[in-house]
Each structure stands twice: as C-alpha cells, then as structure tokens.
Amino acid sequence: MLKITNLHASIEDKEILKGINLEIKAGEVHAIMGPNGSGKSTLSAVIAGNETYTVTEGAVYLEDEDLADLAPEERAHKGVFLSFQYPVEIPGVSVTNFMKTAINENRKANGKADMPANEMLKLIREKSELLEIDRKFLSRSLNEGFSGGEKKRNEIFQMAMLEPKIAILDETDSGLDIDALRIVANGVNKLKSENNAVLIITHYQRLLDYIVPDFVHVLYDGKIVKSGGKELAHELEERGYDWIKAEN
Amino acid sequence: MAKYTEDDLKVELETKEYEYGFYTDLESDTFPIGLNEDVVRAISKIKEEPEWMTDWRIEAFRAWEQMIEPEWANVHYTKPDFQAISYYSAPKAVDPNKTLDDVDPELLAMYKKLGISVDEQKKMNNVAMDIVVDSVSVATTFKKTLAEKGIIFCAISEAIREHPELVKKYLGTIVPQKDNFYAALNSAVFSDGSFCYIPKGVRCPMELSTYFRINQGGTGQFERTLLIADEGSYVSYLEGCTAPSRDENQLHAAVVELIALDNSEIKYSTVQNWYPGNKEGLGGVFNFVTKRGLCEKGAKISWTQVETGSAVTWKYPSCILKGDNSVGEFYSIAVTNNHQQADTGTKMIHIGKNTKSTIISKGISAGKSQNSYRGLVRISANADNARNFSQCDSLLMGNNCGAHTFPYIESKNPTAKIEHEATTSKIGEDQVFYCNQRGIPTEKAIALIVNGFGKEVLNKLPMEFAVEAQKLLEISLEGSVG
C-alpha cells in the first residue's frame, strides 16, 4: 500500500529525515514511536506533501505510484489521509460544509459528480454516530473553540467520511481523556479493513493498547533504528527511549 | 517538486480575465463630452422633465461648480477630467412603450451574459427587476403584480413624470443637492435610476432588484435611487452592478436616498462588481457613491453590501436614526485586489431615543490593494440610551496589501453605549495545507476560508443573491497566500 525508500527530507537546509525505509501492506497497522524531535511529525507531513519540507533523496509510493510530483490535494484524492496533531481553525466554515466540500472535491478529482444531498446527510449521520458526535457539533465552525478531544474526534470523523487508503494518525492520542481515546480508537478499528492501512505516530504506547499494531518501528534522529512486533511498544514504555539513544 | 503551488495560483488568477468584461455593440445616443448648463438642460429636456426638475438640476450644477473634489479619503487616483466625460448615453433601441419582445436582441443577449436574462427573471417570479443599462431604464418587470398592492417601482425618470408629488416631496431631502461634490454632480446630471414607493402597511411580496451596467465607453453613470417605505411597510431591495473592461477609467457617481417612515423597514442589498481595472491598475470604475437613509419612529434600515469591483471606491451607506426606537444596520464585505483601493464604511447618526445601530465590516485585501474602513458613530445630546456595536475585521492575503480602520466616535450623551471590536488576520499556509490535505485545491480552499470569514454578512443577503455573491468572491480574489 505505502512504500517509503531511502527518504531524506530537510527544512531550511537542516536534514530531518535521514534515509527512512518502510513498507506498509494493505490490512496492516504500523506504529512509529520515538522521542521528541526524532522526525515523526516531519515524516507524516512529507507523506502528505507539505511543501515546507524538501525531499532531497528517496521516494514515497502509494500503490506503486511515486507521489513526488503530486500536490497535497492530489495525494488526498488518491487516498492519503493525515489526522493532524494540531488541527487548524477555519472560522465561519462549519464541519458539515467543510466535509461536503472535501467529499465533492475528491469525487470531482475521481471523475464523479457531486454527492446528492440526501446521500451526504445519510453518510454524515452514519459516521457521526460511529464517532459518537453530537449533531450540533457538525454545524459549529471547524475546530473553532473545540476541546482537544473534540478536535481529534473530528479528525477521525473526517477520516471516516473520506475512507482513505492510508491513514496517518499523528499524535492522535495527545490531549485525549480516556473516554475520548476509547471512542477514537474504536472508530479507527471499525474503519480498518483489508483494503486500507493505518500508520500511527505516537510518543506513548497508550493508544496502542486500543489500536493494536502489527509492527512497531522506533524513529530516532531521522532514521528507523529498530522494528518489531507490538511487544516493542511495551518495552519502550518500560525502559523509555534512553536505551535507544545509547545504542545509536 | 513540480506541483501546483500558491505561486502558480497567483499567476493563474492574475491572468484571469474579468469575467464580465464583454462589450455589447449597441447603437447608442451619446452626448458629446463636456459639462455646462446647456448639457444639464439638454438632459432634462431629453427626459421630458417638468420645469421644477430642470431648475433643481441647474441649482445643483451651480453649487457643484463652486465645490472642490474631496481629498480626505485614503485613496490615490488621477482625478477625472469632468469635461472629458459624456453625461448621457442611451441605447438607441429603447422605447419606453415597447414590450420586452421588442427589446434589441443584443441587449437581451447581454442580460444573458450577465446571468440575469429578463426571461429568467420573469420565471424566477419573486424578483422584480428594473434594469439600467448606461443611463436609461430599459426593462421593468412585474410592474403589474406590484401595482395591485399599490407599490410603485419604476425608473426615476418615469416617476418624475407620473408621480411628481412624491418625487418633489422627497428628492434631495436625505442627500441634498449640495451635500458633497459627487452628490451635487449627480443631482445636476443624473440620467436615470430607480424609484420605489411602498404604501402604508404593505409588505412588498418580492425582492425588488436593479441591475446597473455601464456599457458605453467614456460615459459616466449617474443613477439616482429614491426609495420610500411608508408607515408600517416593508421592502427588500437589491442592486447589482457590472461594467465592461475598458482601459480608461469610468466614473460612477450615484446617489441613493432611503426614507423609512414610522415603523417601516427597508433592507437594501448591493452586490457591486464594477470593472476593477487590470492587474497593472489600468482602467476600472471610479465608484463615488452617496447612500443615506432616514429612519423615522421605530423604523429600520439595513444596508448589506458585497463590494468586489471598482478601481477606486468611496462609499459610506449611512443611517440617520431620527425617530425614537429606530434601528440602523450596516453589513459589508469589501474585497480589494491588484491595485484596487476602497475607502468604505458607514455613518450611524443617532438622534432619537433608544436608537440602535450595528456595524459589521469585513475587509479582504489581496495583491497590492488598499482597503480602508471608515465609520462614524455619532450620538446626539438627545439620543438617550443609544446603542452601537461595531465590528471591523480585516483579512490579508499576501504581503503587499494594506488594511486600515478609521473609526470615529462622537458621543454627546452619557447614557450611550458604544462597543467597537476590530481584528486583523491573515490566511495561514497551515489553513490552506489542512484543506489541501482533505482534497480541497488551494483556490477552492481560499474561497472557503474567505466565505467563512464573510459569513455573518453573506447570511444577511437575500437567498437568491447570496450564491451570486459567493461566486463573485471566488472570482475576485486574485492573490497569494502566505
């Protein structure tokens, strides 16, 4: 599904990613863990096509297609979804209106007509129930005045609406209380299938108790320095990141 | 990476033509250029006006001759040469007695291009339009339906002939001939415009609409609008404006007077899309407009404007809250791009007791444009318990534009409550990236963000026109982000 080969990326001539290799197959859940400043969020931004970063070497492939020449929205149209660590506010644009625009732009890019209004409403109802989202919430301005938990739930709601092939969850667990964490994890688990894949980026293993990964990778200083099964996450939780740092 | 970037968008938008910039080859009766008393008399004569009207014009002209063009606004432009303008241009095909079927097919085709074909308007069935092309009102629809309610909606030239008592009673009472330089000029040479009278207690059953368009090169357009809502009546009125692209600057100096008698309500909405000039700042309409309304007891006037066009805008729709318990509202979105300059805002003059006013102004600046809000809230000594709330928000796109706010407050009554809020923000790259990541291209993302920013004002527009206004915002915003 997603394949990353020897990926190097920098910001303002400072190299952050120093040769990442990663392959995620359909149906798999991978987790990338690592200490602060290891390049976790940069990796998610680069996959999504954020132009703040320059890819200097290597490539990212989605279903064997090189994403290098694709703008962020084109990557989205092909099924890349990023759940943001810090979702931005867009005043005056309701969650519903935003989602409607996003869905129809994706459909347009894939040669489909706008989704009929009744179908849209049905989809919104269905997916908002999945994330236990109050209907009133949907008419509020996007992320404006949302609590941390509401913002993250809204991100996963958007993921549910857009049904991406690869969903990258960047620090989705930060700022979530235990109930919100359960709801978010439950949502992701229900959306998981044999036709998509999930990449969880996290500092703590807490979320991984709810969304169980098939593989865990440790990112340190712009490189994946260790890979393993879900037990690696527990080991990191117990021992901290210092032993990784010591080894590298 | 060879991606579509914001810079590409900027280039694409800058090369995008003004979508309404077509010119229709209509045969016109156009006066030679220049202005003197004879021209004023000739206009009056061609309109078959009574003597009192001719005298009124001459009085205005003599006053105008003594006046100097104002320079206090935050706009810079080469002053028009008033002797180089033709003051009257009428499409020849027009005959007031003709039915729509007789109208020049080219004219009808032009309406179609504007997206306001009269046929369609008829079918829409709740919008009556008085269309002003250049200086003559060419088609008035729905007159009959309105007449049944006693509503008069016609060209002002017709009103002068058919309803002289009303015109005589109210014309110039809100914006006197000598009010200001452009108002005086308008009073002398106004060629047409709309007149509307809503009788006592009548609720106008449809939106009334005027579509102005400047077609002929080198002509000025000086419409005069007079709208009277009698006691307890209600009317919603919309004017839309476009002009073809031309290299020279065209002058537009309109006057709008609203009279809201006791307990009546007037909702006046404007979608202004005059040609803004090209991206180098060449050409475009000079829009120097005086709009003012008077509220008697318990009356309400609500101005809503979406201003996307014109090279230079100088416009302050105002309310004189004379009657006790009267209400004034001003909702505005002003977009400037490239070299456009706008100095716009409102005046709320509180005279009566318990008068209330609300000002919501949203300025969006892009390119190298300058966007100024200028507003006055005046509370007179007798205006006990007057209230005002003002909110002025500015949104900047790029680093070469400017947003300015000039709020003036004069309060002579200690019981007044005046609130003023102002914000300035920029469209963030992070906002655009967030939208991009959800599959929304940059151009659409900007439209979405801008529409969100202007939502409080767009919501005040009549439904049929809100959509048009949103589209206009999308067309007008030629700018970069970041």
Interface of A with B in 104-143 (CB under 8 A): 105-106, 109, 141
Which tops the pLDDT comparison, B365 or A61?
A: A61
pLDDT at residue B124 in the model: 35
CA distance B84 to B110: 27
Residue B459 in contact with partner chain A when CB distance is under 8 A: no
Give the relative orientation of helices A117-130 and A95-109 as an angle to the nearest 10 degrees.
120
Residue B222 CA to residue B31 CA, distance in Å, equals: 14
CA-CA distance, B101 to B105, in Å (whole number)? 9
Tokens of B127: 């919008």
Q: What is the tens place of the pLDDT at every residue in A11-36?
A: 988 999 999 999 999 999 999 998 88
Mean pLDDT of B83-96: 61
DSSP per residue, B431-446: HHHHHHHTT--HHHHH
* pLDDT tier at B12, thresholds 50, 70, 90: very low
- A4 Cβ contact list (under 8 Å, min separation 6): A20, A21, A22, A23, A47, A58, A59, A60, A61
Q: Which pLDDT value is given to residue B251?
A: 79
B234 has a pLDDT exceeding 60: yes
Taking CB atoms and an 8 Å cutoff, what residues of chain B touch A69? 1-3
- Which of B110, B124, B78 shows the shortest CA–CA distance to B213? B110
Mean pLDDT of B145-173: 89
Coil/strand/helix, residue A162: helix
- Among all residues of chain B, which has the CA nearest to that of A68? B1
Q: Which residues are within 8 A (CB) of A209 and not within 5 positions of it... i.e. 6 or more apart? A: none
Q: What's the rounded Cα separation, in Å, for the pair B247 and B98?
A: 34
The answer for residues whose C-beta is within 8 angstroms of residue A15's C-beta and 6 or more apart is A8, A9, A56, A222
C-alpha to C-alpha distance for A138 and A128, rounded to whole angstroms: 9
Would you state the pLDDT for residue B271? Answer: 82
- pLDDT number for residue B84: 78
End-to-end CA distance of chain A: 30
Distance between alpha carbon A232 and the CA centroid of its chain, in Å?
Answer: 21
Containing domain of residue B372, as a range? 6-97+125-476
Q: Closest-CA residue in chain A for B441? A: A73
Residue A207 pLDDT exceeds 80: yes
Is residue A88 less than 8 Å (CB to CB) from chain B? Answer: yes
Q: State residue B27's pLDDT score.
A: 52
Is any Cβ of chain B less than 8 angstroms from the Cβ of A77?
yes
CB contact under 8 A, A69 and B1: yes
Range in A189-198, B7-16, B316-325 the model is least confident about: B7-16
Contact B440 A72 (CB under 8 A): no
Question: Quick count: other Cβ atoms within 10 Å of Cβ A69?
Answer: 11
Q: State the nearest Cα–Cα gap between A76 and chain B, in angstroms.
A: 5
Whether residue B385 has pLDDT greater than 90: yes
Mean pLDDT of chain A: 92
Residue B119 covered by a domain: no
What's the average model confidence in pLDDT over B385-402? Answer: 90
Residue B258: helix, strand or coil by DSSP? strand
Q: What is the pLDDT of residues A77-132, one digit of tens each?
A: 999 999 999 999 999 999 999 999 999 999 999 999 999 989 999 999 999 998 88
Name the domain count of chain B.
1
Name the residue among A73, A84, A98 with its Cβ closest to that of B441: A73
Q: What is the mean pLDDT of residues B355-383?
A: 91
User: Rounded distance, CA A114 to CA B16, Å?
Assistant: 26
Beta carbons within 8 Å of B192's beta carbon, 6+ residues apart: B132, B135, B136, B137, B155, B156, B157, B223, B224
B439 touches chain A (CB under 8 A): yes
Higher pLDDT, A117 or A248: A117
Whether B455 has its CB under 8 Å from any CB of chain A: the answer is: yes
Residues of A with Cβ-Cβ distance to B453 under 8 angstroms = 91-92
Domains of chain A: 2-247 (3.40.50.300)
**β-pair type (A2-11, A14-24):** antiparallel
- pLDDT at residue B98 tops 70: no
Q: Name the band, by pLDDT with cuts 50, 70 and 90, for residue B119.
A: very low
The confidence band for B36, taking pLDDT boundaries of 50, 70 and 90, is: confident
- Is B482 contained in some domain? no
Is residue B410 scored above 60 in pLDDT?
yes
| Cα separation, B179 vs B72, whole angstroms | 15
B309 vs B187, which has greater pLDDT? B187
Residues of A in contact with B431 (CB under 8 A): 88-90
Q: Which residues of B touch A161 (CB under 8 A)?
A: none
pLDDT of residue B93: 45
Report the pLDDT value the prediction gives residue B9, as an integer from 0 to 100.
Answer: 46
Residues 6+ apart with CB under 8 A from A63: A1, A78, A165
Contacts of B471 (CB under 8 A, 6+ apart): none
The share of chain B scoring above pLDDT 70, in percent, equals 76
Q: Give yes or no for residue B444 having a pLDDT over 50.
A: yes
Domain assignment of residue B280, yes or no: yes
Residue B318 has pLDDT above 60, yes or no: yes
Q: Give the residue carrying structure tokens 């892009």.
A: B366
More confident residue, B339 or B199: B199
The span from the CA of B25 to the CA of B475, in Å, is 25
The CA distance from A38 to B109, in Å, is 64
**Domain-embedded: residue B262:** yes
Q: Is residue B309 one of the residues assigned to a domain? A: yes
Q: Which of B1, B4, B454 sits opposite A68 (nearest CB)?
A: B1
Q: Does the distance separating the beta carbons of B453 and A73 come in below 8 Å?
A: no
Q: Does B3 touch chain A (CB under 8 A)?
A: yes
| B5: pLDDT strictly greater than 80 | no
User: What is the sign, positive or negative, of the torsion defined by CA atoms of A160, A164, A166, A171?
Assistant: negative
Looking at residue B310, its pLDDT comes to 78
Q: Which of B398, B396, B5, B480 is nearest to A50 (CA)?
A: B5
Res B419 pLDDT > 50: yes
B434 interaction partners in chain A (CB closer than 8 Å): 84, 87-88, 90
Q: What's the whole-number mean pLDDT along residues B267-284?
A: 79
Decide if B231 contacts B200 (C-beta within 8 A).
yes
Domain assignment present for residue B110? The answer is no
CA distance A70 to chain B (A): 6
Residue B418 has pLDDT above 60, yes or no: yes
- The answer to whether B431 contacts chain A (CB < 8 Å) is yes
Contact criterion met (CB below 8 Å) for B194 and B132: yes
Question: Between the ranges A68-82, B29-43, B106-120, B339-353, where is the mean pLDDT highest?
Answer: A68-82
pTM flag (> 0.95):
no
- Has residue B105 been placed in a domain? no
The stretch B240-251 carries a mean pLDDT of: 62
More confident residue, A205 or B61: B61
Closest CA–CA distance from residue A243 to any residue of chain B (Å): 35
**Average pLDDT across chain B, whole number:** 80
Question: Which chain B residue has the Cα nearest residue A80?
Answer: B437
**What pLDDT, on a 0 to 100 scale, did the predictor assign at position B326?**
97
**A123-179 per-position pLDDT tens digit:** 999 999 988 888 888 999 999 999 888 899 999 999 999 999 999 999 988 878 888
Between B216 and B72, the higher pLDDT residue: B72
- The string over B322-348, giving b where at least 16 C-beta atoms fall within 10 Å of a residue's C-beta and e elsewhere, is bbbbbbbbbbbbbbbbbbbbbbbbbbb
Whole-number pLDDT of residue B71: 81
Q: Which of the given ranges, A68-77, A225-234, B151-160, has the highest pLDDT on average?
A: A68-77
The pLDDT value recorded for residue A127 is 92
Question: Which two three-digit tokens encode residue B438?
Answer: 């959800």
Residue ranges of the alpha helices (H) in B163-213? 164-170, 181-189
pLDDT exceeds 70 at position A7:
yes
Lowest mean pLDDT segment, chosen from A221-225, B249-253, B437-441: B249-253
Q: How far apart are CA A216 and CA A24, in angstroms?
A: 11
* Residue B412 vs residue B81, higher pLDDT: B412
CA–CA distance, A48 with B3 (Å, rounded to integer): 13
Nearest CB among A91, A102, A162 relative to B453 is that of A91
B452·A88 Cβ contact <8 A: no
Which sign does the torsion angle of CA B448, B450, B453, B457 carry?
Answer: negative
**What is the arithmetic mean of pLDDT over B367-378?**
89
Nearest to B141 by CA among B85, B114, B188, B103: B103
Q: Which residue of A55, A88, A102 is in closest CB contact with B431?
A: A88
Is it the case that residue B212 has pLDDT exceeding 80? no
pLDDT given at position B349: 95
For residue A103, what is the nearest residue in chain B, using CA coordinates? B439
Nearest residue to A218 via CA among A234, A206, A207? A234
SS3 label, residue A89? coil
In a domain, residue B481? The reply is no
